[in-house]
Structure 1
Amino acid sequence: MSVETRWSAWGEEIAVQVTENAALGPAVGLVGAVLSDAEAACSLRRGDAEIHAVNLAQGQPVRVSVRLSGLLRSALWVARMTDGAVSPLAVEESPPGVPPIHPEPTFADIQIDDATVLAPWGVSLDVTDTAKADTADRAAALAGNRLECGVLVRIGSVVATAGHCPAGGWQVDVPGHGPVELPTRAAMATVGTDLTYGEHDPVSGQWEQVTVVADDGLWAYGGAAAAIRRGLGAVSWLEEQALAARLVDRLGRIYTTSRWSRPHAA
């Protein structure tokens, strides 16, 4: 038996589910605090967010908080794991009469030394989506450890779990498919081409929707978003990464990786 509450924050629906009734209020407080810290660090929609200082520095080093440093490191980790298919970097167009940047910067040009960040001139960073996935992981782990109960945290379409799970596992809906059983200390993310990723343009291509189950929300999101962008090569790439995944193409046809057939993602 578990209890749940939902609210809106950071442009997403937030859900918190716990296995102990008395833990729901404290869990909401812990999750809300983690959300607020992350949003203050990197939300491009907030004028006071720390990330604006990095984007305005244009080739100059900037000292940032531990929280923003962690979120930037997470985004760069996903970029490396996906060979740049999911990147936090956006190269600004040069003004008329100004030659374009050459060679064009990549995520590998972002340097983080302790809490000092150096991004090349002409680059803006948007870590909104990886930050939400990272925050779901951190919030679930924090609440599970502090409250010593089972916790599920959902931020938008990213779900992360911690602590012990309820009988029958965590039942999590996959859009257009129904619930799957998610074990504790696992995560799931669904990415669709009808979504806009942070401040980036919507993605179009082979796949309508990709759902990935992984050990944490950051990798579940990274794997699903990378698969959307990889097109025809997505299934083989997901198999190489040993990820449980379900893909729906533009014609409604469903493809799954071998690991999706396991009981926790059946």
Structure 2
Amino acid sequence: MAATAAGAKAGLGWLILAAALAVPGFLFFNWWSNLKAERDRAVSTKARGRIPEGNVFQTAPATRKPVNPLAASTAAPATAALKVAPVAPPPPADAAAPPAAVPSAPLPAAADVAVSSSPAATIVLPRDPMLSPLDLVYLREAEIAKERARREIEEANRLANRPPVKRVKPPVEKMIELQGIVATPGGVSLAIVNGTTVSSGESFSVAGYDGKVRVLKISTMGVTFEHKRRRFMKNVNNE
């Protein structure tokens, strides 16, 4: 029983709340409708005051057929020219001259009208359209490297097949350096050759040469040597 009474009170409360909200809503709707009707009447009255009596357009606009000014300007000179140009009188019947013969144009030669039987010209592209400029650079570099390798191989083969060059040794006197002449208290003269002291009659070897070099004579002017039966003289100042 208590639950039923509480539910009835709650329903009555909601009904009173709905009625309380409906009355202001109805009053607001009535006020807004009256305000809108008055505003529409004011707009209509203002519009009628600006429009004159009768139609909006007092007189119908005059209809005029459009005329092309270019056609009129070109037709007038042509008509004037036709009127001004004189008409020549026809010649008498007995003075009529025979019509002049019209020269016929020469027929073209057979060689001129012959149809060319040569094949159509072939268009040759400067490069493959499927290759980019960068690809062409790579191909060019590869060709240059290949050509360089070919030249190197040819040069190596040429050097390998070339007969060996026979080197000519300089004369043995070019390898002998006379550094000084020394005289001993006993009257014996010694020579300093290539860092070694030698006396007259001694022999020494020179690296890279066959046979020995013999000292024949030592004087104040220089030293006389002999190598393979060939004699030569070296001075201290000789280089």
Is TM more than 0.5 here? no
Q: Which has the larger radius of gyration?
A: 2
TM-score by length of 2: 0.16
Q: Comparing both chains, which one has the higher relative contact order based on Cα–Cα distances under 8 Å and sequence gaps of 6 or more?
A: 1
Structure with the largest fraction of strand: 1
Structure with the largest fraction of helix: 2
TM-score by length of 1: 0.15
